[in-house]
Structure 1
């Protein structure tokens, strides 16, 4: 038999002579001058040693709401209405004047207890609400009908928990032998150590084989930790972080990125438009000329008539690239290395792989002599630091970059997975703002990386407050999902 703590001994002493008898915890707590919660804890320890049985009993009770109390006296609305109908039937117009009509009529039709024909309401054969009235009078014995009354907010169900303790024969035998109730010391003081008093103290023994109680320290959400990891990687790679509002004008969100004004992505089914408008920035005429005929470049533009009113419309940003072009306008001279991790919004149907709002990682590099090969190197370095060793690229198309690529990573069990888009900004994007050096740019999906790193199958879990998942997720979990087996 393992060593007993003082409180376990006190519990056995309080139960002495009551072997086999069920004792309520509050009664024991009063006798031991302790709280019921403490007695339950001590009883769990003693139960592990086979000295007592601890039973948890859940008592359920039904409580009437004010509406339910009124119906107990007057009858349910459907009962009141059924009485008013009578056996011969009643005109619907007359029945509508009854105070119980609004609720009672719907309930009667739902239960198939009436028929309506030619404006006259008649009861069905054998129509009765007696069973529902019995359920309301005695919900404890009503079963499924009581649940229906709860849905109708006529009843509420309450639960109370109580514990009982029963002394086992082994516990009774130990209690009969006599127990040493000498006070124990669980923590030594400095004075006890210096004076040597600890040598004669009754020290509490600890079971080194017993697992301690799990402690859940406060920590940030796993998704936020992953975003912070991405941010740290880019800062270490020499990038500066850029910021901007989630509400952007269509000018910066679309037009400045050389998306034609009739592009499908600008339609209402893809974009959240707001009623507000934003003024056009200084020099907007150069962008108009770029769209209409290519401005002063070799481009021919998109042709047609560019509408400044459409560019003034405000939207919830559909990508963080709108921040990149504004950053370049404010920093037209090299070198520029900047990134943004921000939320973007698109009209998507919610399912395990799509949500109408998600995070995007945006990056730009502008300097003399940078090339497409540098772009691939930046992306490969980033993904490898994130734990994805196998990275490849395939050609892509975007209105504002040329050449363009779509980076892919290898995920065990899935194969190659596309992660976003990248390329070199076209002259139609940079020339209106006097940017003459090449600009490397990319927009990557953050949530996809998170799903692979965190082992999720449902994107929606990233945005839920699932305490169990948050508690059990490690603070740091460098994944190897990108590595081949």
Structure 2
């Protein structure tokens, strides 16, 4: 029965055509050295510079024709401190001998030893002595283990002598301890070996032709006409290429810019504000009662310096009347005694709504379409979806014909521009908006709340001289980021995870 021959050289031929001259020389040199050689040996055999040998070896490894093996070798050198140990013995041994001879009080030992504290530390660690505090002056008492150690050569001295004689230490762990004691210095050297693979050997056995090739066409080649008779190196489009990690902005910063761009495209103007505000602007103007749980110390960061900030007296009286009786708004208010001192207390802002309400107070005439992106602060328990410091997206629309349907359309369009299609709006309650709704998106098979919205109540707008409807919303930026970047834990946004930062998509 005849045999059938299978030609497997086509793939090898294609691979050979992609090899550079340096790669071919390294392959042939490895074959001469029985398949294993150091970079120095390859340099000597090929006549190439070290950088070319290493580059060629790396490319051969990526093509499966060779492998790079690295061995880390440590060597030690005795320091001046180590030499003193060899000549005088270890400090703990010297102190132990003094103790055995009757000089055991700390005061006496300190007169003879500048390194007493170091010696005592090692005596305690090795359980060679105990400290007697029964009398006024502390003293050292040798243990049975310590008495035995006095007449023995210590393993530290054995290792130091071996290294001083150019020998390899029998106890590497003790050598590391001596490095920590500054008795030795450690030098680490990486030894590299290039190994010819089975496929690489097959390529060599098939035969390699060393010829001059043009890898990159230059103006000189064209001007001289050398390109006409030259051999051009083929490009291997399947070969390994390193992943490049160019500099780029933090994923959260990129998302902030994207949100900013969306609102600007929708005709909004950006506003900013301060981190520190009186309770008056952060809560009272928004018709949040002074006994609301959000004002508790466990929920809000109160400042001690300054503890209070000034407020316009006339506006303060108007807001006080709204809280107590409803003022001129037609509301009955919250029916409690408003505390003006509480209104002056200073907090780290709990939401960026304070920015928009200040803007309305300064610009009571419509129309207005503004937004704000900034950090807010709350005493939240840190978990996978909550942080005590986070970003909030705030916005308002103030115009005569503003209505709830417009608010629904606006928020739906905003999230659509961000890439969210699965959105739902649910009725909600907030002290300063009516009607109110929450915005939720589908996230990992469950609905995640991303923010609240509504129309400012008359108790909020009328004391500021505003009669037209004001649409308002506050949205959590980090939760949007979790959905867009596919994160399960909000804390990952602030970790120094370089791999995630490099691989995060450019939104």
The answer to whether the superposition gives a TM-score over 0.5 is: yes
1:199 to 228, 246, 258: 228
Aligned to 2:56: 42
Note the C-alpha offset of 1:398. 2.7
Q: Distance in 2 between matches of 1:347 and 1:153?
A: 48
Aligned to 2:5: none
Note the C-alpha offset of 1:462. 0.8
Q: Distance in 1 between matches of 2:192 and 2:207?
A: 27
2:328 to 292, 296, 311: 296
Note the C-alpha offset of 1:472. 2.2
Matches within 5 A, 1:158-237: 159-165=188-194, 174=204, 179-182=209-212, 184-189=213-218, 192=221, 197-237=226-266
CA contact (8 A) 1:82 1:123 kept: yes
**What SS class does the counterpart of residue 304 from structure 1 fall into?**
coil
Q: Could you report, residue by residue, the CA deviation over 1:423-446 in whole angstroms, capped at 9, with x for unpaired residues?
A: 222223222211222222221111
For structure 1, which segment, 1-10 or 69-78, has the greater mean C-alpha deviation from structure 2 after superposition? 69-78
CA contact (8 A) 1:279 1:312 kept: yes
Matches within 5 A, 1:241-256: 241-256=270-285
RMSD, aligned CA: 4.2
Note the C-alpha offset of 1:302. 5.2
Q: Distance in 2 between matches of 1:261 and 1:136?
A: 74
Residue ranges of structure 2 left out of the alignment (5+ in a row): 1-11
**What SS class does the counterpart of residue 379 from structure 2 fall into?**
coil
CA contact (8 A) 2:450 2:479 kept: yes
**What SS class does the counterpart of residue 341 from structure 1 fall into?**
strand
Aligned to 1:403: 435
Q: Distance in 1 between matches of 2:273 and 2:40?
A: 60
Aligned to 1:307: 340
Note the C-alpha offset of 1:326. 1.1
CA contact (8 A) 1:250 1:312 kept: yes
Note the C-alpha offset of 1:336. 1.9
* Structure with bigger gyration radius: 2
Q: Distance in 1 between matches of 2:465 and 2:82?
A: 74
For structure 1, which segment, 340-349 or 130-139, has the greater mean C-alpha deviation from structure 2 after superposition? 130-139
Aligned to 2:471: 440
CA contact (8 A) 2:25 2:210 kept: no
**What SS class does the counterpart of residue 419 from structure 1 fall into?**
strand
Equivalent residues, number: 472
Q: TM-score, normalised by structure 2?
A: 0.76
Aligned to 1:381: 413
Matches within 5 A, 1:34-433: 35-47=49-61, 54-61=68-75, 86=100, 100=115, 115=130, 119=134, 122-127=141-146, 133=156, 137=160, 142=171, 159-165=188-194, 174=204, 179-182=209-212, 184-189=213-218, 192=221, 197-274=226-303, 275-276=305-306, 277-281=308-312, 283-298=315-330, 299-301=332-334, 303-308=336-341, 310-413=342-445, 415-433=446-464
CA contact (8 A) 1:343 1:358 kept: yes
Q: Distance in 2 between matches of 1:333 and 1:34?
A: 79
CA contact (8 A) 1:336 1:367 kept: yes
Q: Distance in 1 between matches of 2:85 and 2:173?
A: 19
Note the C-alpha offset of 1:5. 1.0
Q: Distance in 2 between matches of 1:250 and 1:215?
A: 50
Q: Distance in 2 between matches of 1:248 and 1:140?
A: 67
Q: TM-score, normalised by structure 1?
A: 0.79
**What SS class does the counterpart of residue 126 from structure 1 fall into?**
helix
Q: Distance in 1 between matches of 2:289 and 2:98?
A: 68
CA contact (8 A) 2:30 2:36 kept: no
CA contact (8 A) 1:367 1:437 kept: yes
Residue ranges of structure 1 left out of the alignment (5+ in a row): 477-485
Note the C-alpha offset of 1:43. 1.6
For structure 1, which segment, 63-72 or 387-396, has the greater mean C-alpha deviation from structure 2 after superposition? 63-72
